């Protein structure tokens, strides 16, 4: 006979997340790759704390996901968050490596794809981050397409991001999301945002103007039995944005550096973010912090709106 307790997913809830689940409170999942691979210490820790606070301010409960000691941690205690932000050699986990990391007891940070899986296992329907992975420039040669896109197509979590990172091939990323049936919903504007910039120069396929509308669309997908989630593309606040034209040379230079250094696979995105951060004298990092906080706020509002639906 199958031992169901042994086969249950290895979830460990933080005190805050456990209380949230028990009360059926609105919850927002948060990823950890942005902490370990996306930002330098101590900005990563300060941002992770600020992002959780943004979620709480909306009345929702944050749950930062990470893998430690053979368990998926749904919500991190303050000391765990601090240890993760300072840790070195943390694995960057996507769908492909999540189970191996758990079985081996590795410490791992969850990407957008892995965080969606963890959120779904924990019954959390909304997730906020900075930017999703997508189709890399030159993907026709490298085949480098983020597993985040496939995950959006199969796991029913609404992901709030500032679009896909502008280091990517955004037209191809939009095409692939359309093929896979993922709604890409710009928030309160027609243009697709491009992470550090409000306008990628592309029209977003869909636009919604309130958290309640986004929640209703999420619920309707479930009623239709449609697998997969939604991508909410929330533009960076105007005061924090770096216009596309200003970012373009830094992105080009970082891409050339990555090519020259032979950077491939999982290392590409962290390499580009670090080099763009250095080239802009920290301006790109400041923008990244502003946009992820803004996304956490909208994520909280969507979770609250979802909880209010009949
Ligand atoms: N957004 C950020 N910083 C990041 C990431 C997203 O603001 O570091 C991470 C996410 O975890 C995303 C990952 O899933 O980058 C994409 O990596 P890849 O391109 O290797 O799939
Ligand atoms: Mn990749």
Atom of ligand 1 nearest to the CA of 165: 1
Pairwise CA distance, residues 130 & 293, whole Å: 8
Summarize the confidence of residues 166-172 as an average pLDDT: 94
Q: Over 90: is that where the pLDDT of 93 sits?
A: yes
Half-sphere exposure (Cβ direction) of 139: Cα atoms closer than 13 Å = 16
pLDDT digits (tens, 9 = 90+) for 234-281: 999 999 999 999 999 999 999 999 999 999 999 999 999 999 999 999
Work out whether strand 206-208 and strand 184-187 pair parallel, antiparallel, or are unpaired. parallel
pLDDT at residue 3, rounded to an integer: 60
Tell me if the bond preceding 42 is cis, omega within 30° of 0. Answer: yes
Residue 220 has pLDDT above 70, yes or no: yes
* CATH for 303: 3.40.1790.10
Binding site membership of 16 for ligand 1 (Cβ less than 6 Å): no
What average pLDDT does the segment 7-32 reach? 97
Look at residue 1 and tell me whether its pLDDT is greater than 60.
no
Q: Nearest residue CA, atom 16 of ligand 1?
A: 133
Pocket test residue of 50, 97, 109, 133 for ligand 1, highest count of atoms within 8 A of CB: 133
| Mean pLDDT along residues 103-124 | 98
**Residue 2 reports pLDDT greater than 60:** no
Spatial contact of 21 and 303, defined as CB atoms under 8 Å apart: no
Of 149, 171, 165, 309, the C-alpha closest to 231 is 149
Q: How many domains does the chain have?
A: 1
**Cα 239 from chain centroid (whole Å):** 22
Ligand 1, atom 6: nearest CA belongs to which residue? 131
The closest residue, in CA terms, to atom 17 on ligand 1 is 133
- Greatest Cα pair distance in the chain: 62
Ligand closest in space to the Cα of 128: 1
Mean pLDDT of 68-94: 97
Place of tokens 């992002």: 51
Measure 268 CA to ligand 1 centroid, in angstroms.
10
Confidence (pLDDT) at 185: 98
User: Would 65 be classed as within a structural domain?
Assistant: yes
- Is residue 145 predicted with pLDDT exceeding 90? yes
What's the pLDDT score for residue 166?
Answer: 85
Q: Which band of pLDDT confidence, cut at 50, 70 and 90, is reported for residue 7?
A: confident
Instruction: Measure Cα distances from 198 to 3, 67, 269 in Å.
Output: 51, 33, 20
Q: Which domain holds residue 188?
A: 8-307
pLDDT at 165: 82
CA 10 to chain centre: 22
Q: What is the pLDDT of residue 5?
A: 65
> Mean pLDDT throughout 161-171?
92
Residue 68 Cα to ligand 2 midpoint, Å, equals: 23
Looking at ligand 1, which atom is closest to the CA of residue 114?
14
pLDDT digits (tens, 9 = 90+) for 35-47: 999 999 999 999 9
> Above pLDDT 70, what percent of the chain?
98
In-domain check, residue 139: yes
| Cα-to-centroid distance, 96 and ligand 1 (Å) | 15
**How many of the other CB atoms lie within 10 Å of CB of 58?**
21
Ligand 1 atom 8: residue of nearest CA: 38
**pLDDT of 107 over the 90 cut:** yes
Of ligand 1's listed atoms, the one at least distance from the Cα of 168 is 19
Residue 2 falls inside a structural domain: no
Residue 111: left if φ>0, alpha if ψ -120 to 50, beta else—which one? Answer: beta
Atom of ligand 1 nearest to the CA of 37: 8
Q: Does any domain span residue 214?
A: yes
* 289 touches ligand 1 (CB under 6 Å): no
Q: What is the pLDDT of residues 115-126, one digit of tens each?
A: 999 999 999 999
Average pLDDT value over all residues in the chain: 96
Contact 216, 179 (CB under 8 A): no
Which residues are known to be catalytic?
31, 165
**If we measure between CA atoms, which residue out of 240, 136, 248, 254 comes closest to residue 198?**
240
Residue with the smallest CA separation from ligand 1 atom 19 is 133
Percent of the chain having pLDDT more than 90? 96
Question: Is residue 52 very low, low, confident or very high in pLDDT (cuts 50, 70, 90)?
Answer: very high
Q: How far is the CA of 105 from the centre of ligand 2 (A)?
A: 24
pLDDT at 4 over 70: no
Place of tokens 């580009």: 272
Q: How many angstroms separate the alpha carbon of residue 253 from the centre of ligand 1?
A: 19
What's the rounded Cα separation, in Å, for the pair 117 and 57?
25
User: Taking 90 as the threshold, does the pLDDT of residue 193 lie above it?
Assistant: yes
DSSP one-letter string for the chain: ---HHHHS--EEE-HHHHHHHHTT--EEEE-SHIIIIIS-TTHHHHHHHHHHHHHHHTT-EEEEEEEETTEEEES--HHHHHHHHH-SS-EEE-TTTHHHHHHHT--EEE-HHHHHHHHHHHT--EEE-S-B--BBTTHHHH--B-HHHHHHHHS--EEEESSB-TTB-HHHHHHHHHHTT--EEEESSSBPPBTTBS--SSB-SEEE-SHHHHHHHHHHHHHTT--S-EEEEPPPPGGG---HHHHHHHHHHHHHHHHHTT--GGGHHHHHHHHHHHHTTTHHHHHHHHHHHHHHHHHHHHHHHHHH--
């Amino acid at each position: 006979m199958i031992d169901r307790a042994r086969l249950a997913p290895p979830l460990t809830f933080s005190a805050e997340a456990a209380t949230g689940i028990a009360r059926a409170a609105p919850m927002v999942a948060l990823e950890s790759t942005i902490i370990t691979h996306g930002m330098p210490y101590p900005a990563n820790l300060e941002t992770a704390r600020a992002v959780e606070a943004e979620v709480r301010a909306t009345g929702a409960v944050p749950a930062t996901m990470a893998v430690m000691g053979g368990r998926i941690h749904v919500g991190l205690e303050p000391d765990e968050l601090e240890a993760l932000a300072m840790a070195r050699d943390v694995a960057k986990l996507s769908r492909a490596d999540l189970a191996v990391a758990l079985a081996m007891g590795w410490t791992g940070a969850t990407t957008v794809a892995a965080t969606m899986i963890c959120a779904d296992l924990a019954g959390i329907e909304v997730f906020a981050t900075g930017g999703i992975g997508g189709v890399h420039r030159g993907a026709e040669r490298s085949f480098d397409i983020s597993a985040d896109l496939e995950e959006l197509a199969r796991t029913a979590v609404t992901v709030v991001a500032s679009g896909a990172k502008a280091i990517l091939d955004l037209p191809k990323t939009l095409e692939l999301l359309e093929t896979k049936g993922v709604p890409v919903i710009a928030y309160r504007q027609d243009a697709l945002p491009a992470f550090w910039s409000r306008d990628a120069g592309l029209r977003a396929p869909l636009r919604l103007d309130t958290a309640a509308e986004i929640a209703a669309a999420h619920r309707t997908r479930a009623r239709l039995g449609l697998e997969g989630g939604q991508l909410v593309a929330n533009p960076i606040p105007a005061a924090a944005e770096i216009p596309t034209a200003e970012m373009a040379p830094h992105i080009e230079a970082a891409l050339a550096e990555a090519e020259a250094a032979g950077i491939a696979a999982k290392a590409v995105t962290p390499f580009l973010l670090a080099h763009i951060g250095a080239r802009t004298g920290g301006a790109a990092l400041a923008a990244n912090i502003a946009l992820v906080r803004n996304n956490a706020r909208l994520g909280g509002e969507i979770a609250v709106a979802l909880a209010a639906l009949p």
